[in-house]
Amino acid sequence: MRIHIATDHAGLEFSTQLQEHLIEQGHAVVDHGPDHYDALDDYPAFCIRAAQAVVDDQRAGVEALGVVFGGSGNGEQIAANKVEGIRAALVWNLDVAELAREHNDANVISIGARQHTVEEVFDFVDRFVATPFPGDERHARRIAQVGAYERDGALVDGPAPRERN
């Protein structure tokens, strides 16, 4: 599998260690930056490029996922999710890593580097990569609804909003 990785300064050390870990497991790794420590760097371009590469690979039939890091992982997840076709999940434990794949067919995992040990990060990513999307109808239906909104703003019918006081 090809794994696209991006981070900011807060996740740079984890990113380097994770890349080595994934290569040892036989994965192809593409590092989208940064290539050096800069405490003032901006993560959006790194994460968006990694997310775009995941989508491009998947559309070309290449098995690919992404991993983005930051201090909390929140901004990196938000940036990745701006790319059409990306379903990035903020992961903080093994169950969430697995459910992100099983229920949401997440194709990018976001992790807070300041929140976890490197061993926990390895476990989260390993679980994420190893878990397939089983394609259950209810989950596929929901993912398709999100995709439709992302493409053209289409929403399924639902109850009318009502104000409550």
- Residue 71's contacts (CB-CB under 8 Å, 6 or more residues apart) are 8, 10, 11, 112, 113, 114
For residues 138 and 7, what is the distance between their CA atoms, to the nearest angstrom?
A: 33
Residue 116 bears catalytic tag: no
Please say whether the beta carbons of 113 and 11 come within 8 A.
yes
Catalytic annotation, pick one of 4, 9, 32, 76: 76
Please say whether the beta carbons of 56 and 85 come within 8 A.
no
Closest Cα to residue 30, out of 58, 13, 50?
50
Catalytic annotation, pick one of 21, 27, 103, 139: 103
DSSP H or E segment with residue 76: helix 74-80
The residues annotated as belonging to the active site are 76, 103
